[in-house]
Amino acid sequence: MIVGTAGHIDHGKTALLQALTGQAGDRRREERERGMTIDLGYLYAALEPGAALTGFIDVPGHERFTHNMLAGAQGIDLVLLVVAADDGVMPQTREHLAIVELLGIPRALVAISKIDRVDGARVQAVREQVSALLAPGPYAEAPLIALSSVTGEGVETLRQALLAAQREVLQRGLDGGFRLWIDRAFSVAGAGIVVTGTALSGQVAVGDTLMLGPLGKAVRVRGLHAQNQAAESAMAGQRVALNISGERLALEQIHRGQWLSAEWLYAPTQRLDVDLQLLASETRDFEHFQPVHVHLGTQDLTGRVALLEGASLAPGERMFAQLLLNGPVQVVQGDPLIVRDQSAQRTLGGGRVLDPFAPTRQRRSPERIAQLQALATAVRLEDILPALLANSDTGVDPRQLERQFNRPRATWLLPDDVRLIETRQGPVLFDTARWQALKSGVLAHLARFHELEPDQMGPDRDRLRRFTASALGRGTFISLLDELLASGALSASGPWLHLPAHQVRLSEEDEALWQLLQPQFDAAGFDPPWVRALGHDEAQVRLLLRKMARLGLLHQVVRDLFYTDAMIRRLASMLLQLAEDNPVIQVAAFRDALGVGRKRSIQILEYFDRLGLTRRMGDRRQIRPDNVLARRTEQ
């Protein structure tokens, strides 16, 4: 169990931990000289013989060091709120309590300290004052223990309360990737760099490789301590010290606010969607796009808050918002955060991360708000996923979901109405009904295209995507078209897509003119005549050949130079044959196979580049095996 103190300056937090554990803790020379805690202090003790070590984090109480208190409050299991009997509730008592409530720390104990300085009536008055303070919040039932660190009265009662809480602390999930916010970094002679923090999730072992953010450096775990004891591994919920090494890694590069995570989980972000609550104690509304300080883990960043459901947020109210941070963070769904004012003098509110990969567009749309409502009200990925997919026309990247929820895909139980679509850019999750609706929409748009352009065979893939104004990524759209083609709902004539029943015929005049021109194309082989050399009205011939190109009967390689579809297929077959001998096709090899000039060979190859049959690499080509023309040519 990890216990963190909270409370006003000089209310006896450090002295209480010493009385409780018999240890002075980790104090700095400046703190000893000034008689106050400035930075975080750490100590470990068994609360009774044979008990597991409990980690204690002592935080400063002065308002100037609230940022240090926030760094120490992350990842603790229980907060020990200390209120001095001679002072009673003070400003930092209230602010610290507000912070730990916003962070969602599950348990609290209250120590009414310094009772040796006051009489019983004063102790009772402070007890009532603290009870009234706690009553509206989640710690209304928290035990209040009066004690003195000087005389020892009540210290044993507190110890027993901590032991009871320790037996009830739930073990954190170990399935996700390892995460740790760094709160200290130092060098140990003979070992090297050591960083410490509270493990938030997962497990880590000696020999593991982690990512150090936001530097993006891979580091190796050379050794570790868990709860201040040497160990081979550590897990979520423990205070951990990691001895790390990495290429050109220097202590000067590492400081509080950075993080360590599993390699697959590493995904820094600067735009987060959150569930934001403004403290009821605020005297004015929170305005849209207001500049703030944001505390996430041990990190303190500046940024702005874009409200998503209105222009302002009233005190005590909550609203979905998007944080636009001035630096990268590594967070997952459910992580708590604290928001302070621009000067970092006052805590304004806080909340939870809903989506660490917030969209830049349509962030206030009804569909996006519905997704955020699902993220705010449900906990399990399987419960949230249907609402995410039902309100998405572009699907959801499962790799992003893994990082958002810190859940490897192997642990998911996907609902029956969810489909995994494989695309060239990777898998995408879709609601089955939504995916079917998208396919129906494409077919409806294609029917409309045929009405508008009856003399065309159909659009190519990219033109159809533009015509449908699809929000899908190109790779996903192509996967959708491939499914339609495979099912027979869609047909292709060369690169042109059309409904199976759609047919385009030349007019009688066009047919007659083509009968006159076709012998010249057949006789020319790989070197067809230019439009000007065909011996008829140039404008009329050009119009006919372009129409036939739209029908898929001809191919316009360059302006006024057309090849028949049969000839293009022969040329494609020759390319495939060349690729069998050598996967890298040289222009010279293609030129020699055709028996035409280099310029004409390059024109043909560039046309195949545009069709997607070949991929150009300088003056060389490679066949794209997934191209429709390549597959049909092979058939």
CATH of the domain at 293: 2.40.30.10
Beta bridge mates, 56: 3, 43
pLDDT exceeds cutoff 50 at 135: yes
Residues 223 and 338 occupy one common structural domain: no
Is the model more confident about 161 or about 62?
A: 161
What pLDDT is recorded for position 23? 81
| Count of structural domains, the chain | 5
Residues 301 and 188 occupy one common structural domain: no
- E strands in 426-478: 426-431
Residue 539, token pair as written in the block: 């404008």
What pLDDT is recorded for position 416? 85
Residues 540 and 586 occupy one common structural domain: yes
Residue 570 is assigned to a structural domain of this protein: yes
Mean per-residue pLDDT, 79-88: 94
Mean per-residue pLDDT, 94-117: 92
Q: What is the CATH number of the domain that holds 448?
A: 1.10.10.10
pLDDT exceeds cutoff 70 at 37: no
pLDDT exceeds cutoff 70 at 237: yes
What pLDDT is recorded for position 332? 95
pLDDT exceeds cutoff 70 at 350: yes
CA 274-286-340 angle, to 5 degrees, is 70
Residues 613 and 546 occupy one common structural domain: yes
What pLDDT is recorded for position 44? 86
pLDDT exceeds cutoff 60 at 26: no
Quote the percentage of the chain above a pLDDT of 70: 95
pTM (2 d.p.): 0.77
Quote the percentage of the chain above a pLDDT of 90: 66
User: Distance between CA atoms of 554 and 531, rounded to whole angstroms?
Assistant: 13
Alpha helices in 488-597 (DSSP H): 508-524, 538-550, 565-581, 587-594
Mean per-residue pLDDT, 15-41: 66
pLDDT exceeds cutoff 60 at 632: no
Q: Which amino acid is at 550?
A: R
pLDDT exceeds cutoff 50 at 525: yes
Residue 402 is assigned to a structural domain of this protein: no
Residues 258 and 278 occupy one common structural domain: no
pLDDT exceeds cutoff 90 at 315: yes
User: Distance between CA atoms of 158 and 64, rounded to whole angstroms?
Assistant: 29
Question: Cβ(275)–Cβ(354) under 8 Å?
Answer: yes
> Containing domain of residue 223, as a range?
179-265
Residues 283 and 150 occupy one common structural domain: no
Residues 106 and 243 occupy one common structural domain: no
Which tens digit of pLDDT belongs to each residue from 609-624? 888 888 898 888 988 8
Residues 240 and 285 occupy one common structural domain: no
Residue 396 is assigned to a structural domain of this protein: no
What pLDDT is recorded for position 71? 74
What pLDDT is recorded for position 68? 73
pLDDT exceeds cutoff 80 at 122: yes
User: Distance between CA atoms of 177 and 263, rounded to whole angstroms?
Assistant: 8
The total of other beta-carbon atoms located within 10 Å of residue 195's CB is: 25
Residue 377 is assigned to a structural domain of this protein: no
Which tens digit of pLDDT belongs to each residue from 411-432? 898 888 899 999 988 999 999 9
Q: Which of 231, 265, 299 delimits the end of a domain?
A: 265
Residues 336 and 466 occupy one common structural domain: no
pLDDT exceeds cutoff 90 at 170: no
Q: Which of 265, 289, 316 delimits the end of a domain?
A: 265
pLDDT exceeds cutoff 50 at 473: yes
pLDDT exceeds cutoff 50 at 112: yes
Residue 424 is assigned to a structural domain of this protein: no
Q: Which amino acid is at 120?
A: G
pLDDT exceeds cutoff 50 at 193: yes
> What kind and span of H or E run contains 599?
helix 598-611
Residues 39 and 155 occupy one common structural domain: yes
What pLDDT is recorded for position 549? 85
What pLDDT is recorded for position 39? 64
Residues 346 and 478 occupy one common structural domain: no
Mean per-residue pLDDT, 544-556: 86
Mean pLDDT rounded to a whole number for the chain: 90
